[in-house]
Amino acid sequence: VLATRPARLQTMREVIRLLAERHDITVETRVEMPAGASAFANWGTRTIVIPPIVGAETFATALHEIGHILAGRCTGRERRCFG
């Protein structure tokens, strides 16, 4: 795995910050997550909980969680409601 350059990491982090600001999403960064979760979103509080952005994979995880917030409230029948 190639190391991500510091400038690129800073850009990734800034993209997440700007998206969160634009869409009124709170971002919480955690090193440890609940069992079985690598990240998660809470639509009701418009909060995403993500690992620190250290490369492309964690950047993609953050974008994925933002997508859950932007997709709207879960009805309980979609796969995304179950993990």
pLDDT tens-digit series, residues 40-79: 999 899 999 999 999 999 999 999 999 999 998 776 655 5
Residue that wins the pLDDT comparison between 26 and 37? 26
Name the phi and psi angles at 65, rounded to 5.
-65, -40
Contact 59, 78 (CB under 8 A): no
To 10 degrees, the CA torsion angle through 55, 48, 67, 63?
Answer: -10
